Structure 1
Amino acid sequence: MEKIFKELDELEFELPSWAFSDAGTRFAVFHEEGAARNVFERIEDAALVHELTGCCPSVALHIPWDRVENWEELKEFVEEKGLRIGAINPNLFQDPDYKYGSLTNPSEKIRKKAIAHVMECVDIAVKTGSKIISLWLADGTDYPGQDDFRSRKKRLEESLKYIYENMPEDMYLFIEYKFFEPTFYHTDIPDWGTSYLLSEKLGERALVLVDLGHHAQGANIEYIVATLLSERKLGGFHLNNRKYADDDLTIASINPYEVFLIFKEIAFAWKDPELSDFAKKVVLMFDQAHITKPKILAMIQSVVMAQELFVKALLIDRRRLREAQEKCDVVEAEEILMDAFRTDVRPLLRENRKRKNLPEDPIKVFREGHYMEKRRRERR
């Protein structure tokens, strides 16, 4: 148990600012009374989640949603709340100019506009102390013949090269992928192989970001994670869950076993002497849309669930598993995994929180503390 507690001390999650504000579907946005209305209120809500869980010290920003006039003021506010700024996420998917692409657009003028926005985010990262630019493109085409694939690939590579070469030498570029949507014929960065290819061409500070909802049904995400870890090209995650496509549901709400198997690969890399230092730098960030769940409560629930599944992964008997694998004992190998997955680790986590003077049950404390009632009054 002491060993698990020590490993829990190293387990951190990054919260997304946008998860604390109103969100919806392409059909409607649903308002939650008391939800954060600006970046300062989003930081306040993230700080509350960290206060109750003790493992979420960083918050990612999305530009322009979180843009402010005075970045030094925001940085000081974040630090006063006991947090730090995490990844900076450029927005290259809402401007009407990006209808036919941003970094891949046939128009040089629009490509330069998109690059300028990313470089603005690099400048914001410098001012706020962030070391990560997390890039997702909605670029693609809807119809055959709409554009030339190789030309778009060339434009993308040239755009990324400019961004990468003009970033500070201690800053990382995370390249996210998504196999479809919002374009439906082809996507310019549709899979982990394309992200890997782009990051490999750029250099060591370009890494792949894995969003759990950005894969085809049945994709073996844990295999992708293992491969990227072995190549030292895994930068981080957008943790969520899905039933159909990019649903952005709360983590493990649909398939907890899948998340457990993904965390298994990270936990095993943590314990690998050759990979440990790299693996512990992989950013575990949430990216969820709390459409029908209360936003702060949903985030606390997600953090608690992620902790539980990661601890289960830490409990796997690696020695026995390796012996079963070497003997090709398929049933025994699976049973070893299931033993860990079936283990109720909630008492262990409650004891760990108690030792840290944290609420043993963060969800219960949030409910009984009437935190949302206070926010509704303050933000009326």
Structure 2
Amino acid sequence: MAFKHCVQVGILGRYADRFTEYQPPRPLRDRLAATSGIDGARGVELVYPPDFEDPAETAALVREFGLEVAAVNLNVKTDPVWRYGSFTNPDPAIRARAVSDLRVSMDLAADLGAGLVTVCPLIDGWDYNFQADYQKQWAWLIDGLREAASHRSDVRVSIEYKAFEARQSIIVPNMATTLHLCDRIGLDNIGVTMDVGHALIAGETPAMSAVMAHDAGRLFYVHFNDNNRAWDWDMVPGAVNLWDMLETLFYLDRLGWDGWFSYDVFTKHGDPVEAFDATIRAMDALGRMLDKLGRAELQDLIDTKSPARATEYLLTTLAR
């Protein structure tokens, strides 16, 4: 199984939590240069606005290092202006800024040949009961995303859901809610970024989530990472949930997915470039494991509906 590997170059920069800083900031040139040296990495996911202080220079750097842009990731969470929300902010001027930023991101994605913007509205939600007006928030989200995505039909807008963080409850917490949101917006260029780690913390089976999004014609982008289902730890795929990773790959392959695999993997200790290199090698190994297990054999296990037989087959085959 072959993959189109994409590095989220923002992850090669500063990484910190509320306790300490684990990785220092690095300029975009250094991050792109490092990416170009990772075996198998073909694409990059750039973040707007921080990676676009000079859009012409950003485009030139991508060309210089022989990379493709898989997507532009719109950040509507870290700037203090978004403290009370982006597309669902009670202030109409700030909601208008979120719409404007998404439109700018769409133009940048088109100019860079990506044709895709991914956006994760992590700051849109609530922490307490009676804190948010759910009716207004939902309407603002629909109207804002519809207004922004209507800017141009040749660029797709992919919504990344997450159950919690930065809010305790995020307005798009799972696949079902996000697909319903896409239907309410009603535009063909609105879809879903399925982050496998986010599916895990939402209590989903990632393979089923992928099937749902594909069935709706809304599976636009995929992030791969792993965690313990309790928190979004952004670990190397297969570190914890090996069978979920293999099953997700099995279904993506069966669905004919030929898009990018973008990796949302952070490392607190060691070199983040080495972590991405290990991630790509791990994904390639998962692909070889799927080849070894065999698509027809796995489908036969599904059809026979014998979970005990399935577990025995998976373990004994991989142990050979």
| Structures share fold, TM-score greater than 0.5 | yes
% identical aligned pairs? 21
SS of the equivalent of 2:197 reads coil
How many residues end up aligned between the 2 structures?
Answer: 316
SS of the equivalent of 2:50 reads coil
Q: Does 1:14 align with 2:3?
A: no
Q: Does 1:208 align with 2:200?
A: no
1:80-91 maps to which residues of 2 (within 5 A)? Answer: 80-91=64-75
Alignment counterpart, residue 48 of structure 1, candidates 37, 48, 57: 37
Provide the rounded CA distance (Å) in 2 between the counterparts of 1:152 and 1:211: 23
Amino acid at match of 1:320: E
Q: Which residue of 2 aligns with 1:191?
A: 174
Alignment counterpart, residue 181 of structure 1, candidates 129, 144, 165: 165
Amino acid at match of 1:266: L
Provide the rounded CA distance (Å) in 1 between the counterparts of 2:202 and 2:192: 20
> Contact between 1:75 and 1:85, CA under 8 Å: does it hold in 2?
no
SS of the equivalent of 2:76 reads coil
Q: Does 1:253 align with 2:239?
A: yes
1:181-330 maps to which residues of 2 (within 5 A)? Answer: 181-184=165-168, 186-200=169-183, 201-214=185-198, 215-216=200-201, 218-243=203-228, 244-269=230-255, 276=256, 279-281=257-259, 283-330=260-307
> Contact between 1:238 and 1:287, CA under 8 Å: does it hold in 2?
yes
Deviation, structure 1 residue 208:
1.0
| Aligned-pair Cα RMSD in Å | 2.1
> Contact between 2:125 and 2:132, CA under 8 Å: does it hold in 1?
no
Provide structure 1 residue ranges, at least 5 long, that are not aligned to the other structure: 1-6, 270-275, 344-380
Question: Mean Cα displacement is larger for which, 249-258 or 188-197?
Answer: 249-258
Q: Does 1:154 align with 2:139?
A: yes
Provide the rounded CA distance (Å) in 1 between the counterparts of 2:225 and 2:74: 20
Q: TM-score, normalised on structure 1?
A: 0.77
Provide the rounded CA distance (Å) in 2 between the counterparts of 1:129 and 1:263: 26
* Inter-CA distance 65–290: structure 2 relative to 1 (3 Å threshold): farther
Amino acid at match of 1:263: L
* Inter-CA distance 302–67: structure 2 relative to 1 (3 Å threshold): same
Provide the rounded CA distance (Å) in 1 between the counterparts of 2:191 and 2:80: 28
Provide the rounded CA distance (Å) in 1 between the counterparts of 2:202 and 2:171: 20
Provide the rounded CA distance (Å) in 2 between the counterparts of 1:324 and 1:250: 27
Amino acid at match of 2:48: I
> Contact between 2:173 and 2:202, CA under 8 Å: does it hold in 1?
no
Q: Deviations over 1:103-133 (max 9, x none)?
A: 0111111101111122221222233222110
Deviation, structure 1 residue 324:
4.1
Q: TM-score, normalised on structure 2?
A: 0.91
Deviation, structure 1 residue 24:
2.0
Amino acid at match of 2:32: I
Q: Does 1:68 align with 2:53?
A: yes
Q: Deviations over 1:266-323 (max 9, x none)?
A: 1222xxxxxx3xx213x21011222213111111001000111022223333333444
Provide the rounded CA distance (Å) in 1 between the counterparts of 2:115 and 2:102: 14
Q: Does 1:129 align with 2:113?
A: yes
Provide structure 2 residue ranges, at least 5 long, that are not aligned to the other structure: none
